[in-house]
Amino acid sequence: MRSVEEIIPHMREIGRVLVKYNMVERRAFDFGIGIELYPSEIHTLSTVDQLGGCGVTELARESGVTKGATSQLVSKLVKKGLMVKKPDPENGSKVILRLTELGKRASDNHYKFHLSHDRAFINFLQEMTEEELLVFDEICSKMNEWMDNYLK
């Protein structure tokens, strides 16, 4: 087993990645619709798009965010004209979230952006063996647990 001193440089490297990710999360981008959107906003649109519409509870679960935070984000997106709330025909007390045409265009452009911008990293993952991909998934899972401990 490695000593803590041997592991510290690797932890620093992950720390640098997390700092950069945090910087990206605080920047707004225009996905070709004339409205700047923060990553949390565009990822919310993309999640609703991928699910083909959903309720707030399902969106919160898929996003890993509280229902309260999700509701606030949905309200912002509705005000920006990117999402609508429709009554659920099967449950009148529930709403279904759907994208507007503008929201759909933003989601589609976001997907294209990642295909282009993230091509090198996507290729890296695609070239991994099944065993390497399992290790990668395990590392991501452990990092998720690690961050959960900070949020307790």
H/E element holding 37? strand 36-37
pLDDT at position 89 is 84
pLDDT at position 131 is 98
| DSSP β-bridge partners for residue 86 | 96
Burial class (CB in 10 A: 0-12, 13-18, 19+), 115: exposed
Residue spans of alpha helices (H) in the chain:
4-25, 39-51, 56-63, 67-79, 101-117, 119-126, 130-151
Average pLDDT per 10 consecutive residues for the chain, totaling 152 residues: 94 94 94 97 97 94 93 97 92 90 98 95 97 97 92 84
pLDDT at position 74 is 97
What is the DSSP pairing of strand 36-37 with strand 29-30? Answer: antiparallel
Q: How many residues does the chain have?
A: 152
pLDDT at position 88 is 83
Q: Are 37 and 106 in contact (CB under 8 A)?
A: yes
- What CA–CA distances, in Å, run from 25 to 22, 40, 80, 81, 121? 5, 7, 19, 22, 18
- Domains in the chain with CATH codes: 4-117 (1.10.10.10)
